[in-house]
Amino acid sequence: MEGLNHLRKKMACYDIRQSDVFDGIESYSVTFSNGKDTSIAIYSPEGEIERTFEYYRDVRIPSPVMGKLIKEYLDWKVLGSKYLVSYSKTGALEETFRVKMKKEGNSIWVENNIVKN
């Protein structure tokens, strides 16, 4: 979660109004990346975050999601994970956990979506 917290802090602290390209007329998209994870923030002409799109690899899966996977995919091993989240200033939050699982030479991606308004 270190990459997640670092990029979110960077996004929240970034002041688009200090950028040379900021003119207060258009919305701006700014991408933050640490090489493994990526966050994109859309800033309003007023310099406020309107929405975000975030993509993180190999995050710790929350217990409720992991518990559900363990029940549904007994004897499968977790190989990796992806966490995608989008946020809108209107309050909508959508989280998607994608988990790669393997059993007896077969691998699958399992997806769990959480939408909060």
Query: Do both 113 and 70 map to the same domain?
Result: yes
CA distances from 46 to 17, 63, 67, 75, 110 (A): 8, 39, 43, 52, 39
Integer Cα distance of 32 and 38 in angstroms? 6
Structure confidence at residue 6 (pLDDT) = 84
Averaged over successive runs of 10 residues, the pLDDT of the chain (117 residues) comes to 77 89 89 92 92 93 89 92 92 90 94 78
Structure confidence at residue 2 (pLDDT) = 62
Total count of domains within the chain: 2
Residue 15 phi, psi dihedral angles, 5° rounding: -110, 95
Amino acid identity for residue 100 in this structure: K
Structure confidence at residue 114 (pLDDT) = 78
- Can you give the pTM of this predicted structure? 0.81
Residue 73's domain comprises 58-117
Structure confidence at residue 117 (pLDDT) = 59
Query: Do both 88 and 46 map to the same domain?
Result: no
